Structure 1
Amino acid sequence: MIFSTRNEVQIMSEEINETELEEKEVPAKTTEEKDETHDVERYCYLCRRPESITGKMITLPKDIHICVDCMQRTMDSMGNGQFSFIDATNMDLNNMDLSRLMENMQEPPAQAVKKKDKKKKKKEKKELNLRDIPAPHKIKAMLDEYVIGQDYAKKVMSVAVYNHYKRVVTNTMEEIEIDKSNMLMVGPTGSGKTYLVKTLARLLQVPLAITDATSLTEAGYIGDDVESVLSKLLQAADNDVDEAEHGIIFIDEIDKIAKKQNTNSRDVSGESVQQGLLKLLEGAEVEVPVGATSKNAMVPMTTINTKNILFICGGAFPDLDEIIKKRLMKQTSIGFHADLKDKFDKDENILSRVTVDDLREYGMIPEFLGRLPMVFTLEGLSKDMLVRILKEPKNAILKQYQKLLELDEVELIFDESALEAIAEKALEKKTGARALRAIIEKFMLDIMFEIPKDDTIGRVIINRDYILNHGTPVIELRGQ
C-alpha cells in the first residue's frame, strides 16, 4: 500500500487516533498538566528533529511521535521494498508492515525535553511620575556626598535634569511643548566632568552611555558612526527601546571634533562629525543596530527617538584659555588705567569667562553650539579642594585604603600635614584629581606589602616626611 501524498498520511494518522480513543477513554487534563505539556517539546522518533522545526507531529501508541516527512518516507520505502531511510535504528524492518513496526518500537529515551526559555525575564519597569523625581536641591545634596566643590556645575546639572524629566513625564504643559536642555561642560582635565555624570546617572537610576568623540568619524570612513552613541545607550538599557529613550548620553572629549584650522585635507573627524550629531541633539528617529556599533546586513535594526534623550557633552578644550585672554586683552589701552598684559596669566579660573564666540573660534560650529543651550565651566582644583577630595567623599581614596587595612586588623591614620603634601604633589602634576591616586598608590605600595608579614602591627600613621621621602611611617604595635 503506497501513500503518495501527505494528506493521505494525515488521514491515516487521524484514523489511528480515533481507534485509540475508542479503545481507551483519555481522561481530561487538568490546567496544571496542560501547562506542563505546553513546556514540553516533542522530538521525532526517526529523524530526532524537534516539533518547532518539523511542524505538528503524528502521535502513535506508547507515546511515540513521528513527523509527517518521516511517515511519508516510511510509507514510500515500504511500498518500494527499501528501508534505507531508517537503517540507523539497527532494526530488521524487511517484510514488516506498519502495525508491527509500531508494536516493536520501544519508547525512546529522553523523548520529552523541556524547552529552553530563551527569553530572559524582564525587570519590572517603574514608570516615571512627578512624585518620584527629586527636587533640584535634593539632587545637589546627593551629588555633594560624592563630589567635592563645583557648586555652580552641580546646581546647573540639577536644574537641567529636573526640568528634563518633568518634560519627559508631562510631555506637554497646557499645549506648550517644552524644549530639551542639552548641556556642554568645559573644564580642565581631572576636574570631575565624567565623575559628575556617572554619579548623577547612578543616583537617578537611569540608563547612561558614556562615549568618546575621538572615535567618531563621518559616515563611510573607518571609525564609529554617530549612531554608535545610541547603540551604547541601548545596550545600557538591556535593549529596551522605551527605557533607552529616557536615558542620558555623555559624549566626552567633545573638543576633539573641533573644526581643524588651516588644513586642505578632508576633515572626516571634525566638522563633519558635528554636523552628524545635529539631528541626534535636536531630536529625530534614528535607525540603530542592536548589539553592534556598525550597520551591516547581519545586524538587526531598531528605531530610537532621541527627543527625550538628554545629551551632555564635556571637554577640556586645551588652549581655549589663550583665546579667552586674547579677547579680554583687546580692552587694554594706553594710560594709567590700562590693564597689564599679564593680568590674566595667573587667573586659574580663566575658563569661567568663556563665551559662545570663544568656542566658535576654537572650532565648534554655530549649529552645534545652538543645540547645547546650557554652557557652564568647572573650576580648576585648588589645594584645599584636593585635600577635601582625599577624605570627605563617601568613597574617598583614603577610606578605601583604611578599609583594606582594617581587614588585616590594622588602623591606618593620615596626618593632616601628609594630606597637604599629597595635594601639593598633585598640583605639580597638573592632572587634577587623577594625580591623587597615582601618588597614594606609590607610597602605599611598601606598606601594603610589609604589613601582612607582621601580626603585631596595630596602627600605621602616615606623616609629611614619609610623603616627601624624608622618613618612614610611624608604626605602633598592638597593645600600646
Structure 2
Amino acid sequence: MSDNNNIDEILDIDSLHEDHADDNDKPEKVKAASADKNKKEGGKKTEDEYEDVCFVCRRPESRAGKMVHLPNNIHICSECMQKAFDSMNDPNMPYADMLSNMTNMPNMTNMPNLSFFNLNDMADQIPQRQKIKKKKPKEEPHVAFDIKSIPAPHKIKAQLDEFVIGQEYAKKVISVAVYNHYKRVETGSMDDIEIEKSNMLMIGPTGSGKTYLVKTLARLLDVPLAIADATSLTEAGYIGDDIESVVTKLLAAADNDVEKAERGIIFIDEIDKIAKKKNTNQRDVSGESVQQGMLKLLEGSDVEVPVGANSKNAMVPLTTVNTRNILFICGGAFPGLEDIIKERLNKQASIGFRADLKDKYDNDPDILSKVTLEDIRNFGMIPEFIGRLPIVYTLQGLTKDMLVKILKEPKNAILKQYQKLLALDEVRLEFEDQALEAIAEKALEKKTGARALRAIIEEFMLDIMYEIPKDDNIGTVVITRQYIEHTGGPHIEMRGVLSLEG
C-alpha cells in the first residue's frame, strides 16, 4: 500500500486470476465474462454497446473515467476505489488485528460481527433500462452533403395527406419547417451563417388533429418522438415533473441512444396551461416559472437527465443530452384566445361611418387564423417564450364535411377498422351516406372534434358486434341513418336469403 495513487498496479484483476487461479477453478460466470471479453470478430475485439457504470457512485465511464473491472460485470471507478484504499489506511480501523485473528481461527465463520458476501450475488445489479449506450465517435463532417436524402416539403405533405384530412395550411407550414430543420441538422453550420431552430407553436381547437399530426409526422420521418403534457410540469423543487423530464422521455423513446435522441422531436401538448396566472398572490410554480425554465431547452443547451427513471437520485446514472438539434413543437387549444382576438379587432369599430359592428366576428369560424403574437402575449405567454417559437400557425375547426371525410378517407379510417373487424367474421359492413352525415352531426353537437366520432360509433356498433357472432348466416350489415338516430335498425342480409331489416 505504499503507492495509493497507482490503483491499476495495486489491483490488476486479470493478472490476479492468471497467477493465483486455474481456469478450471474459476466460477462459470467468470469464465463466461472472460470469454465474452476476449471474443474476437475479424481479428478485433468487439466493443460493448453500453457504457460501464460504477457500481458505487452510478456514474458512467464517460464521466467517471477508467474503471476497475471486477468479476460478474461489476465495475468500480478510480475515485471510489481510491476512497476504499484511503479508508483502509485509517488508523482507527484495526485491520491488522482482524487479519491476525482470522489466520489463527480454525473456523472463520464463528467470528462475531463479521459477515462475508459473494460477488456472484451482486451480478446484474444494473437493470438493462438504466444502462447508457456509448456515444459513437464523431466523424469528420462530409465535404459534400446529399440534400436529396431529406424528403422535400411537397413529399412530406403528400404523405401527411394520406392520414390527415383538411388542415392544408398547417400541413404546408409543418412540412417546410421540418424540412428546413433537418437540413440544418445534417449540414451543421455553413461558413459564418448559423441557421436558427424551427421550433413551432400550433394553435387549434380540441380534436382538430394537433397530436395526430405530430405523431404521423414522426412515424413518416422515422425519428424518436416524445409527447409530454405541460400540465404536469412544475418548477424544480416542487411536486410534479421537472422541466427536464420531457428530454428524459425522448431519451427513453430513442432506447437510451443519446445521439439518436438529439435528432428527435418533442411535442409538448396543453402548452396553454402554463400561461401566467392573473390576479394571484401565490408563487406561480406551474405557469410563468415553467416558461422561464423551458427557455434553455427550446434554444439549445446541455441537460443532465436520468437514464431509465423519471427523477434524479443517487442510484440512477445520469447522461448529458444537447437540445440544440431537437425540434420542439408546442400545441394547445388556448381557450379564451378568441375573445382576445375579437377585442383587438373590435377596437377599430368604435365610431364613424366605417365602424364595424360589435358582433361582426362572433360567428367567424376562422377567428383563430387572425391571431398575432400580441394576442398570445395577452393570453399569458411571456415574450421570451414566444420568441423561441418563431413559427406560429393555427388549425381550423372541423366542419361536417371534414368529419365525414375523416370517417372514411384516411388510410386507417375508423370505418375501415370496423370493416376489418367484421371481415374477420366473414361479414361485410357498409355505411349509407346519410348515416355518415348523421354521425358527423352528432359529433358537431359534442364540440370535441374528431374525438367524438369514435365514441358515437362505439355506441351504435356495440349491439352489432355482440349479435353477429351468434349467427353464421349473416353476410352483410348496412348501417342506416334511422339506426344512428334510434328510429330504426340496420339492414341485415343473410347468405343466400332475402334481406331483412333489423
Taking the aligned partners of 2:183 and 2:146, their CA distance within structure 1 comes to 8
Q: Partner of 1:465 in structure 2?
A: 482
How far off its partner does 1:479 sit? Answer: 2.1
1:19-73 per-position Cα deviation (integer Å, ceiling 9, x unaligned): xxxxxxxxxxxxxxx958957xxxxxxxxxx944899xxxxxxxxxxxxxxxxxx
Q: Partner of 1:240 in structure 2?
A: 257
Q: 1:118 to 1:54 in 2, by over 3 A?
A: closer
How far off its partner does 1:312 sit? Answer: 0.3
- Secondary structure (helix, strand or coil) at the match of 2:340 reads helix
Rg bigger for which structure? Answer: 1
Q: Partner of 1:327 in structure 2?
A: 344
How far off its partner does 1:174 sit? Answer: 3.0
Gaps of 5+ in 2: 1-9, 23-33, 40-69, 76-99, 111-119, 140-144, 498-502
Question: Is the deviation greater in 328-337 or in 280-289?
Answer: 328-337
Q: 2:452 aligns with which of 415, 435, 439?
A: 435
How far off its partner does 1:133 sit? Answer: 1.3
Q: 1:266 to 1:410 in 2, by over 3 A?
A: same
* Kept in 2: contact 1:184–1:375 (CA 8 A): yes
- The letter for the 2-side match of 1:209 is A
Matches within 5 A, 1:167-246: 167-246=184-263
- Secondary structure (helix, strand or coil) at the match of 1:344 reads coil
Taking the aligned partners of 1:220 and 1:162, their CA distance within structure 2 comes to 38
Q: Partner of 2:107 in structure 1?
A: 84
- Secondary structure (helix, strand or coil) at the match of 2:462 reads helix
Taking the aligned partners of 1:295 and 1:461, their CA distance within structure 2 comes to 56
Q: 1:129 to 1:267 in 2, by over 3 A?
A: farther
- Secondary structure (helix, strand or coil) at the match of 1:446 reads helix
* Kept in 1: contact 2:202–2:332 (CA 8 A): yes
How far off its partner does 1:225 sit? Answer: 1.1
How far off its partner does 1:132 sit? Answer: 2.5
Taking the aligned partners of 1:390 and 1:272, their CA distance within structure 2 comes to 41
- Secondary structure (helix, strand or coil) at the match of 1:307 reads coil
How far off its partner does 1:338 sit? Answer: 2.6
Q: Partner of 1:163 in structure 2?
A: 180
Q: 1:424 to 1:118 in 2, by over 3 A?
A: closer
Q: 1:440 to 1:53 in 2, by over 3 A?
A: closer
- The letter for the 1-side match of 2:253 is A
- The letter for the 1-side match of 2:415 is L
* Kept in 1: contact 2:135–2:259 (CA 8 A): no
- Secondary structure (helix, strand or coil) at the match of 2:217 reads helix
> In percent, how many aligned pairs have the same letter?
71
Taking the aligned partners of 1:200 and 1:185, their CA distance within structure 2 comes to 14
Taking the aligned partners of 1:153 and 1:392, their CA distance within structure 2 comes to 19
- The letter for the 2-side match of 1:436 is L
Q: Please tell me whether residue 151 in structure 1 is matched to residue 168 in structure 2.
A: yes
* Kept in 2: contact 1:194–1:252 (CA 8 A): yes
Taking the aligned partners of 1:451 and 1:335, their CA distance within structure 2 comes to 68
TM-score, normalisation: structure 2: 0.74
Q: 1:473 to 1:78 in 2, by over 3 A?
A: closer
* Kept in 1: contact 2:228–2:246 (CA 8 A): yes
Matches within 5 A, 1:17-416: 38=38, 51-52=71-72, 83-84=106-107, 130-416=147-433
* Kept in 1: contact 2:414–2:454 (CA 8 A): yes
- Secondary structure (helix, strand or coil) at the match of 1:413 reads strand
Taking the aligned partners of 1:365 and 1:295, their CA distance within structure 2 comes to 29
1:398-424 per-position Cα deviation (integer Å, ceiling 9, x unaligned): 000000000000000000000000000
How far off its partner does 1:15 sit? Answer: 10
How far off its partner does 1:171 sit? Answer: 0.4
Q: Partner of 1:102 in structure 2?
A: none
1:329-350 per-position Cα deviation (integer Å, ceiling 9, x unaligned): 1111435543111111111111
Q: 1:78 to 1:227 in 2, by over 3 A?
A: closer
- The letter for the 2-side match of 1:252 is D
Taking the aligned partners of 2:428 and 2:134, their CA distance within structure 1 comes to 42
* Kept in 1: contact 2:102–2:108 (CA 8 A): no
Q: Partner of 2:113 in structure 1?
A: none
Q: 1:118 to 1:132 in 2, by over 3 A?
A: farther
Taking the aligned partners of 1:242 and 1:179, their CA distance within structure 2 comes to 20
- Secondary structure (helix, strand or coil) at the match of 1:172 reads coil
How many positions carry a matched residue from both structures? 404
* Kept in 2: contact 1:129–1:169 (CA 8 A): no
Q: Partner of 1:455 in structure 2?
A: 472
Q: 1:121 to 1:319 in 2, by over 3 A?
A: closer
Taking the aligned partners of 2:73 and 2:309, their CA distance within structure 1 comes to 29
* Kept in 2: contact 1:457–1:475 (CA 8 A): yes
- The letter for the 2-side match of 1:199 is T
Taking the aligned partners of 2:472 and 2:223, their CA distance within structure 1 comes to 46
Gaps of 5+ in 1: 1-5, 18-33, 40-49, 56-75, 88-111
- The letter for the 1-side match of 2:366 is N
- The letter for the 2-side match of 1:156 is V
How far off its partner does 1:301 sit? Answer: 1.3
